[in-house]
């Protein structure tokens, strides 16, 4: 039985995001989730104690799926190539939740609780991305590096949410462009002697 799955195999998190896509953030109901899945309300709340828990649980699941990779696959890649691979792995893992994430993206513009929880997930994601992308060379990651990783991810995510093409061409192009921008900025910062450790991961 995997994380967030009940004894009969019901994936509560996937079912919750399907309901979220239908009802929206404010009208989402845990009682309705329990009725639709046949899972007791107490068990639902034990797994998902509140709406912010949906985002936290999904963030942890996506991190896990993104990082379930043999590190040997990343050997020989540049940090930029590793970052590309990891972000695309995460986006691929997000496909089953895409409709619900579209709803959340709209809600985050006007509902602070959604944005706050998403930002907490984003900070954790940027740290893990940078750590995995660094490879064998230990680096010191500062705030600028994390902000750069977050910006690359968010810009790509925005395109991905509207990209339903089979080859994801727009998403791939956006990610490549944003990583190129980050790499250029890192070289400029390193060359100018400013925040050398901050710039290195890009």
Burial 26-65 (b: 16+ CB within 10 A, else e): eebebeebbeebebeeeebeebbeebebbbbbbbebbbee
Instruction: Write out 70-126 in H/E/C secondary structure.
Output: CHHHHCCCCHHHHHHHHHHHHHHHHHHHHHHHHHHHHHCCCCHHHHHHHHHHHHHHH
- How much is the pLDDT for 119? 79
Of the two residues 43 and 114, the one the predictor is more confident about is 43
pLDDT value, residue 10:
81
CB environment 120-159: b (16+ within 10 A), e (fewer): ebbeebbebbbebbbbeeebebbebbbebbbebbeebbeb
pLDDT digits (tens, 9 = 90+) for 145-174: 889 999 999 999 999 999 999 999 999 999
Asked whether the predicted pLDDT for residue 140 surpasses 90, the reply is: no
Query: What is the Cα Rg of the chain in Å?
Result: 18
Give the lowest-confidence range in 51-60, 76-85, 183-192: 183-192
**Measured distance CA(76)–CA(97) in Å, rounded:** 32
Percentage with pLDDT > 70 across the chain: 85
Token pair listed for 86: 């990891």
Beta bridge partners, 11, equal 5
Whose structure tokens read 């490549």? 176
3-state SS, residue 11:
strand
Q: What is the pLDDT of residues 99-134, one digit of tens each?
A: 999 998 888 877 777 777 787 788 899 999 998 888
State how far Cα 83 lies from the chain centre. Answer: 13
pLDDT at 60 over 80: yes
């Amino acid at each position: 039985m995997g994380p967030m799955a009940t004894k009969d195999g019901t994936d509560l998190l996937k079912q919750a995001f399907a309901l979220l896509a239908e009802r929206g953030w404010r009208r989402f109901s845990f009682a309705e989730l329990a009725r639709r899945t046949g899972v007791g309300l107490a068990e639902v709340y034990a797994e998902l104690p509140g709406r912010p828990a949906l985002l936290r649980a999904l963030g942890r699941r996506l991190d896990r799926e993104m990082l379930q990779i043999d590190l040997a696959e990343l050997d020989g890649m540049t940090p930029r190539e590793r970052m590309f691979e990891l972000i695309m792995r995460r986006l691929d893992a997000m496909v089953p939740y895409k409709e619900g994430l579209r709803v959340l993206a709209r809600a985050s513009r006007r509902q602070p609780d959604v944005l706050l929880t998403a930002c907490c997930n984003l900070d954790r994601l940027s740290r893990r991305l940078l750590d995995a992308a660094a490879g064998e060379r230990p680096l010191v990651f500062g705030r600028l590096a994390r902000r750069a990783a977050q910006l690359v991810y968010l810009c790509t995510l925005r395109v991905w949410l509207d990209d339903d093409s089979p080859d994801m061409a727009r998403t791939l192009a956006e990610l490549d462009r944003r990583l190129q921008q980050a790499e250029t900025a890192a070289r400029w910062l390193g060359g100018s002697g400013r925040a050398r450790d901050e710039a290195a991961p890009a």
